């Protein structure tokens, strides 16, 4: 039990928030969240937050704009209710892929969202596996980026009983090499890289596989699975190159349409994700395993409140 601390949850991560609170010996504080016939939202705490340190657990996952507006409105209510410090835990940060101007007149929406959070009254943001780490620089408040890589590596090695002697860790593209390398080093496996290009229509096309995957158990490591187009193309390429099995581990299960149809007919033998985003029930029919971020997030909250470094939280996944 933490003194002078409250944990809140809005619509996006209720189960995760309950697990985090339970790990801390606390309960999630009540929120009044209503929608008017016009579609407007009002969100406010039921109990007093005056001079309290508050933590809100809310991913900006689909429906992205609804969840984002819930968060902004609730933060404003906390600020106007004299909360001492407002900490927002965003397991999945929506709009992270709009982090630069890819075309001349495009917005940089991830910067806009960062500004909105600060203006609303957020003092600290805790995020898990940003799509691009440099997004931290968009925030003018405190930012702590966590990673689920130690959790995923621990799960692959211990809970799933994978034979790492025949395993190859695979990066689905050049941008994800550092992420995949961390798993490869933890599990002491070789590393393979998929050389991927996108066609004019935006569809992923595998050009080459760098590394030996023939007769190997391949584990693709990625930060998210969205429409699953890239993931399915990578799995097919690995199987064509002679891979024995193909599995994937990703932090964020965004799973936008047509992800279910693609994954249902894919070459994946198993899918491993975290609960940064609630898994839609229809995916239970697939071979999907969900591991919880709750122990890590609970440890982070405790260490922030005690003024202790956060890097130590990963030690729980060392054994």
Residue tagged active-site, from 19, 52, 186, 196: 196
Q: For the CA atoms of the chain, what is the radius of gyration? A: 20
Q: Which residue's structure tokens are 């070459």?
A: 267
289 catalytic residue (yes or no): no
User: Distance (Å, rounded) from C-alpha 145 to C-alpha 135?
Assistant: 10
- DSSP for 226-283, please give it: SSSHHHHHHHHHHHHTT-SEEEEEEEEE---TTHHHHHHTSS-SEEEEETTSPPPGGG
E strands present in the chain = 5-9, 31-35, 41-45, 53-57, 85-90, 124-128, 142-146, 167-171, 191-198, 204-210, 217-225, 245-253, 270-274, 288-291
Catalytic residues: 196
């Amino acid at each position: 039990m933490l003194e002078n601390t409250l944990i809140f949850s809005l619509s996006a991560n209720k189960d995760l928030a309950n697990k985090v609170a339970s790990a801390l010996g606390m309960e999630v504080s009540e929120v009044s969240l209503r929608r008017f016939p016009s579609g407007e939202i009002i969100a406010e705490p039921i109990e007093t937050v005056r001079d309290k340190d508050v933590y809100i657990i809310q991913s900006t996952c689909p429906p992205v704009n609804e969840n984002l507006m819930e968060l902004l409105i609730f933060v404003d209510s906390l600020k106007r209710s004299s909360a001492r410090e407002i900490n927002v835990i965003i397991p999945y940060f929506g709009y992270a892929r709009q982090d630069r101007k890819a075309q001349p007149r495009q917005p940089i929406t991830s910067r806009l969202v960062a500004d909105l959070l600060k203006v609303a009254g957020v003092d600290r943001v805790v995020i898990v596996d940003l799509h691009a780490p440099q997004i931290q620089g968009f925030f003018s408040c405190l930012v702590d980026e966590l990673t689920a890589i130690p959790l995923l590596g621990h799960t692959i090695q211990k809970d799933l009983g994978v034979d790492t002697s025949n395993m190859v860790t695979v990066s689905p593209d050049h941008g994800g090499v550092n992420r995949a390398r961390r798993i490869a080093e933890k599990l002491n496996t070789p590393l393979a890289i998929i050389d991927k290009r996108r066609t004019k229509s935006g569809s992923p096309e595998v050009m080459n596989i760098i590394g030996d995957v023939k007769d190997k158990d391949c584990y693709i490591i990625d930060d998210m699975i969205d429409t699953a187009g890239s993931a399915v193309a990578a799995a097919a390429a690995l199987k064509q190159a002679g891979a024995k099995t193909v599995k994937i581990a990703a932090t964020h299960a965004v799973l936008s349409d047509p992800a279910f149809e693609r994954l249902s007919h894919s070459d994946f033998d198993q899918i491993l994700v975290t609960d940064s985003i609630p898994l839609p029930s229809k995916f239970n029919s697939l071979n999907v395993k969900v591991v919880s971020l709750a122990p890590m997030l609970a440890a982070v909250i405790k260490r922030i409140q005690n003024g202790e470094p956060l890097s130590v939280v990963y030690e729980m996944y060392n054994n």
